[in-house]
Amino acid sequence: MSLQSEFAQIASEDGRAALVTVIAGADVGSKLLVRADGSSEGGLGSAELDAAGVEAAEELLWAERSETREAGQATLFVDVVAPAPRLIVFGAVDYAAALARLARAAGWRPFICDPRSQFATPERFPDADEVIAAWPADAFAQVGGIDRATYIAVLTHDPKLDDAALSIALRSEAAYVGAMGSRRAQAQRRERLLAAGLDEELLERIAAPIGLDLGAVSPEETALSIMAEVVAVRNGRDGGRLSQSSGRIHEVGA
């Protein structure tokens, strides 16, 4: 199978990979396929270009965008395919239902997790890719683990569930970890997690209280606040008002 064919197959199977092509300079048209597991195949004409191609691909694989990159006297085009991002929500609550609806509408894959099987039912969360009635460790295993394109929202308000989910999420490669609760609840949670052995540096990863400051009240507004923050993080933005921003509205990678 050619590199282009394998790349197309990975895309058709909703996988993740990058195909690096020399578009200017020596060996125009040479290609290097970089897979999500770090393996690669093909070549760009020199060890230096191969190294530059792999480095660019590994960055853009998880940034989930395609770009041109300059590498010495050559110009590389890094074409990336990736599945829709995952939002793993802990807590089968009304906020989670609204968040799953909005995530689905935005093209994300929402998963609802809660060990309380009477609440974690597909009927209550029809917009979820999957509803998992399991404790956090088992739930994360069932969704295939946590990678750098995984976003996690903890909404349970139950210390037993919150702490178990956060203890795993904060030690993972997750791109985002947010938790619901008042500032007082956040302070109490922080003390519990410190006592459980988590480092201060890890605790700084928690986006809490979760979401952007929209003045949200209803579950739907709260879901909008959370999704706005998650999308901003995914795109490397702060989530401020565009009318007060002087930068590009959209990043142009290629």
Number of structural domains found in the chain: 2
In this structure, are 94 and 207 located in the same domain?
Answer: yes
pLDDT < 70: residue spans in the chain:
245-254
Q: What pLDDT, on a 0 to 100 scale, did the predictor assign at position 254?
A: 44
In this structure, are 47 and 156 located in the same domain?
Answer: no
In this structure, are 97 and 210 located in the same domain?
Answer: yes
Structural domain for 218, as ranges: 86-234
Q: What pLDDT, on a 0 to 100 scale, did the predictor assign at position 247?
A: 61
In this structure, are 58 and 181 located in the same domain?
Answer: no
Q: 30, 60, 81 — which closes off a domain?
A: 81
In a domain, 194, yes or no: yes
pTM of the model as a whole? 0.85
In this structure, are 167 and 60 located in the same domain?
Answer: no
In this structure, are 140 and 75 located in the same domain?
Answer: no
Q: What pLDDT, on a 0 to 100 scale, did the predictor assign at position 246?
A: 64
Q: What is the DSSP string of 19-83?
A: EEEEEESTTTT-EEEEETTS-EEE--SSHHHHHHHHHHHHHHHHHT--EEEEETTEEEEEEEE-P
Q: What pLDDT, on a 0 to 100 scale, did the predictor assign at position 63?
A: 85
In a domain, 244, yes or no: no
In this structure, are 20 and 94 located in the same domain?
Answer: no
In this structure, are 210 and 134 located in the same domain?
Answer: yes
* Helix extents (H) in 143-213: 159-169, 183-195, 200-203
In a domain, 239, yes or no: no
In this structure, are 135 and 150 located in the same domain?
Answer: yes
In this structure, are 93 and 199 located in the same domain?
Answer: yes
Q: What pLDDT, on a 0 to 100 scale, did the predictor assign at position 253?
A: 46
Q: What pLDDT, on a 0 to 100 scale, did the predictor assign at position 238?
A: 86
In this structure, are 110 and 160 located in the same domain?
Answer: yes
